[in-house]
Structure 1
Amino acid sequence: MSSTTRSICRRLSYLHRAKLSLLLPTITQKLAISTAQQKPGWMKDKFSGGRVESLIKQMGFHGLTVHDKESLENASVKLYVSCSEYSDFQLFRKRFDLEDTFSAWADILNLHMWMLATRFNNSDTEYFANDFEFLRARTTYHMWVDIDKRAKQIVRATKIRKKSIRALSDHFLGVVLLYDEGYQTDDKVLAGALWKCLLQAREDVEPKDLLSLVDYVHRNLHHLKSLSDDQFFSGYVSFLPLDSDKPDVEKGKRVQSILTALP
């Protein structure tokens, strides 16, 4: 294990002990509900010319895109909603005995966002490279706006909430680095990353659960790779269930109805 990886692991361990200031019991009664029910702030944040252009540049994106940015912005909203809706926290919580906390919910969401970003980074053509970079930046932005809105339902004090969001951001950056290392190395390293980041390095984790998570990641990365670029630019994507190689048709219909109803 590299010194950088060890440093990340120590940081993640600290963040778990600190509870990110948001680890409150039974919060999913308020938070683990449909993004459509939440009506989060990013739904109102439509592409608005100079203001959004300025934000994109601050996030490190300066390139020209093949698709117009307004259509990409609309697609990025739908992609984030898809990630949020397919991140079935209650199912993951029961299957892997996760804590009923804001942090655990966010970790499941972050896993799906990482898989989506991995697909963006592994397109078969360079022609749409800037378009995918735009989508990556904007889906990430929508995630943080949504997380902040949900956090406001738990922590009203602005200073404490912002401190907690910053801690969560540091946590997410470390998690992404560990997932990337696992994806680029082998399943043993990927399993270790999932154990540390998703299962909080618990000693009671069954090997079969780790194998199930590794398989889930591989199946969905392969599934996302099989989707055409046009599907991402339209914003309509899906994730496979935990225990099936086939999409959940009923869930797909529910997500489709939510996306269709977006303004």
Structure 2
Amino acid sequence: MSRLGIIPLSMLRCYTPCSAISRKELNGYKFMVWRCQSILRTPQCCSVNHLMSIQRCISSATPFRKSQSTRIIAVQPKEGVLKRVIKKIGWLDYSRSKLKRSSYYLYESVADQVNYGKFFHEFRLEDTFFSWFLVTELHVWMLLVRVMAEGEEGRFVRNGVVGAMWEDVSTRTKKLGAANLTSVKTQLTELSQQFQAAIIGYDEGLLSDDKVLAGAIWRRFFQQKCDHPEDIECLVKYIRRQVKLLDELPRDKILVSPDITWAELEPIESSMNG
């Protein structure tokens, strides 16, 4: 049997490594291949067992494999079945029942703690159901911004907060005593679509500068009917301040034991002076 026939030539060939491999590791690997080739050329290396041990040594030391394409990629360890299943279904650090409860507490912090009367007064809003929804929508969006930073648990809580909001909306519409249920259902569908569009607009404004955020506020919150630019500026400052406060809350204060404090809306005059 040929000595070189035991070890495939592909194992003795040094591929160009990817950038993740250091030069020191590459030089060490090249030296090992050179050393094994030197041993194979000596008369003493005639034992099949000895040659097979060299082959195993080279195989275990090879940090690369050749893909079906021309690229050389690093060998990644295979994930276990349990790990793949957990990644597929999504693993939560906290129980779903606890996260569901926290999502309702988070929404209640909006419904119970936000001073709606002050928003109506400072921004000259009509005392209507739609005005209430605009204020609620704004604060729910700020909650969603915070919880979405918490990964899989955050997405679960986000859905719970939105669900709690729509349950509250449905309860309030029933208390209004609307006679035509079909009309109410249609209006709620339109309101849901508007909510989705408002979230996108607010997100864009938050990630951009104050001018973009002001534009989103003018279009949604003020319904493109604002003759007082200072109102928009006041609300921009309020949103920036409140988002910062929410961002400083630790994970447990959001997902386990929600402890939300909503900042007071500053009067227009003091806001402009600040």
TM-score (norm 2): 0.62
Tell me the C-alpha RMSD between the 2 structures: 1.7
Residue 64 of structure 1 aligns with an amino acid whose one-letter code is: W
Measured in 2, the distance between the counterparts of 1:108 and 1:203 equals 16
Partner of 1:167: 190
* Equivalent residue for 1:210, pick from 199, 208, 232: 232
**Pairing partner for 1:227 from 236, 249, 254:** 249
Q: Distance in 2 between matches of 1:156 and 1:236?
A: 39
Matched with 1:63 is: 90
Where 2:175 maps in the other structure, the secondary structure is coil
Q: Distance in 1 between matches of 2:235 and 2:264?
A: 11
Residue 24 of structure 2 corresponds to none
Equivalence map 1:1-263=2 (5 Å): 63-121=90-148, 123=149, 128-154=150-176, 155-204=178-227, 206-233=228-255, 234-243=257-266
Q: What SS does structure 2 have at the residue aligned with 1:152?
A: helix
- Once the two structures are TM-superposed, the CA of residue 89 in structure 1 deviates from its matched residue by 1.8
Structure 1 residues 203, 239: CA separation in 2 closer, same or farther (over 3 Å shift)?
closer
Residue identity opposite 1:200 in structure 2: Q
Output the CA distance in 1 between the equivalents of 2:199 and 2:231: 20
Q: Is the 2:218–2:226 contact (alpha carbons within 8 Å) kept by the matching residues of 1?
A: no
Where 2:93 maps in the other structure, the secondary structure is: coil
Unaligned runs of 5+ in 1: 1-61, 245-263
Identity, in percent, stands at 32
Alignment check: 8 A CA contact 1:74 1:235 kept: no
Cα deviation, residue 162, structure 1: 0.9
Structure 2 counterpart SS, 1:64: coil
Q: Number of residues paired by the alignment?
A: 178
Structure 2 CA distance for partners of 1:226 and 1:175, relative to 1, 3 Å:
same
Contact residue 83 and residue 109 of structure 1 kept, 8 A: yes
Q: Which amino acid aligns with 1:197?
A: R
Distance of 1:85 and 1:136 partners within structure 2: 19
Q: 2: CA distance between counterparts of 1:160 and 1:64?
A: 41
Tell me the amino acid that sits aligned with residue 222 of structure 1.
Answer: K
* Counterpart Cα distance in 2 of 1:114 and 1:191: 15
Shift of 1:200: 1.4
String of CA shifts for 1:28-81, please: whole Å, max 9, x gaps: xxxxxxxxxxxxxxxxxxxxxxxxxxxxxxxxxx53211011111111111110
Q: CA deviation at 1:203?
A: 4.3
Bigger Cα Rg: 2
Residue type of the partner of 2:250?
A: S
Deviation at 1:217, TM superposition (A): 0.1
Distance in 2 separating the partners of 1:216 and 1:73: 28
Contact 1:152 1:161 in 2 (8 A): no
Deviations 1:186-221 (A, max 9, x none): 1001011111111111142x1221111000000000
For 2:235 and 2:147, the matched residues in 1 are separated by 21
Structure 1 position 100, deviation (Å): 1.5
The alpha carbon displacement at 1:86 in A equals 2.9
Report how far residue 235 of structure 1 moved.
Answer: 2.2
Q: How far, CA to CA, are the matches of 1:225 and 1:194 in structure 2?
A: 21
